[in-house]
Amino acid sequence: MEKRILLPTDFSDNSWSAIVYALKLYKDEVCTFYFLNSMAMGFSTMSNISNKLSKSIRDIALNELLELKEMAENSNVNSNHKFEIILSSDDLNQAVESAVLKYGIDLIIMGTKGATGTEEFLFGTNTLHLINNMSICPVLVLPEDFDFVEPKEIAFSTDFNRFYSPGELEPLKKLADMYNAKIRIVHINVEEKLDDLQEYNLIVLKSYLFDYEHSFHWMPEYAKKTIEIKDFITELDIDVLAMINYRHGFIENLIKEPVIKKIGGKPIVPFLVIPE
């Protein structure tokens, strides 16, 4: 079945690295890749922009998209890969959402340069806003200058406080299917033992993952969750970290932790964010 992958780009080296990662990740799959550029990012610093200047910016962006498509076609070895371009005048969030709905996108893949200011999370402003606003499609966020590694070990972080539906776990299972990956469920001990609801959710999660090699891991509670996750990734040689982004959930709590700015400013492995 054909995969449809959306690749937002600002034509930086970092976004090209994300494209290369996507081509390698889906090297054996039938795919259409959509390169999306939001011109609104360029307009945001301008006021009273003229129609002539607007057309000039559009022409430049269109040419860069076409060059990007040509580069991808020339560097790609899978004849079952197709490439399309999307140029939008909407802001990045709206442009991405529109593309997801129009083209039936399965996954968004984008790079991040990490935090550079006082308000950025470990992903940087544009990526963070996209993650927080994207409710209809999973997003795979790549660390800056990350070299492709086959995702053989996938960590899935949960507190077991929430019931997951089969549909919510589909992006995790699809990624595991491609590389016969092991799924490592990690829980940070904030309680002495699981309550009845958590125990029930654990049992249901086990049933959903019955056909996948998986294991459960309990991590001691540190002062900051980011450090716990980073230690877990290192200890088990995790290739991808996956979480479901729900209101008042783990990712929202991570955003509030200023320690993130002190541990490197960027994720150390690709981060799969699944909307609830």
Select from 59, 80, 111 the last residue of a domain.
111
Per-residue pLDDT at 49: 59
Is 244 found in the same domain as 177? yes
Average pLDDT for the chain: 82
Could you tell me if 247 and 173 lie in one domain?
yes
Q: How many C-beta atoms surround the C-beta of residue 131 within 10 A?
A: 21
Residue 147 counted as domain residue:
no
In-domain check, residue 130: no
Residue 159 sits in the same domain as residue 269: yes
User: Are residues 89 and 165 part of one domain?
Assistant: no
Number of domains in the chain: 2
For the cut 80, the answer to whether the pLDDT of residue 28 exceeds it is yes
Q: In this model, does residue 106 exceed pLDDT 90?
A: yes
3-state secondary structure the chain: CCEEEEEECCCCHHHHHHHHHHHHHCCCCCEEEEEEEECHHHHCCCCCCCHHHHHHHHHHHHHHHHHHHHHHHHHCCCCCEEEEEEEECCCHHHHHHHHHHHHCCCEEEEECCCCCCCCCCCCCHHHHHHHHHCCCCCEEEECCCCCCCCCCEEEEECCCCCCCCHHHHHHHHHHHHHHCCEEEEEEECCCCCCCHHHHHHHHHHHHHCCCCCEEEEEECCCCCHHHHHHHHHHHCCCCEEEEEECCCCHHHHHHCCHHHHHCCCCCCCCEEEEEC
In the block, residue with structure tokens 């290192």: 234
Quote the pLDDT of residue 120. Answer: 37
pLDDT at 154 over 50: yes
pTM of the model: 0.86
- For residues 246 and 157, state if they share a domain: yes
Range of the domain at 228: 153-275
- Cβ atoms of 26 and 81 within 8 Å: the answer is yes
158 and 271 together in one domain: yes
Q: Which of these three, 90, 111, 132, is where a domain ends?
A: 111
Residue 131 lies in a domain: no
Q: Are residues 89 and 187 in the same domain?
A: no
What is the CATH number for 105?
A: 3.40.50.620
Within 8 A by CB and 6+ apart from 83, the residues are: 32, 33, 34, 35, 69, 72, 73
pLDDT at 221 (0 to 100):
64
The C-alpha torsion from 73 through 78 and 81 to 86, rounded to 10°, is -30
123 has pLDDT over 80: no
What is the spatial distance between Cα 212 and Cα 44, in angstroms, rounded to a whole number?
46
- Asked if residue 129 belongs to a domain, the reply is no
Question: Is 254 in the same domain as 178?
Answer: yes
Lowest mean pLDDT among 41-45, 55-59, 216-220: 41-45
Higher pLDDT, 79 or 65: 65
> What are the φ and ψ backbone dihedral angles of 110, each rounded to 5 degrees?
-150, 150
Tell me what pLDDT residue 180 has: 97
Domain termination residue (choose one: 111, 141, 168): 111
What are the tens digits of pLDDT across the range 60-69?
899 999 999 9
pLDDT of residue 85 exceeding 90, the answer is yes
Residues 192 and 251 reside in one and the same domain: yes
**Residue 67 forms part of a structural domain:** yes
pLDDT value for 223:
47
Average pLDDT for 10-16: 88
Inside any domain, residue 124: no
The answer to whether 137 and 230 are in contact (CB under 8 A) is no
The reply to whether 92 and 159 lie within a common domain is no
- Indicate whether 127 belongs to any domain: no
In-domain check, residue 20: yes
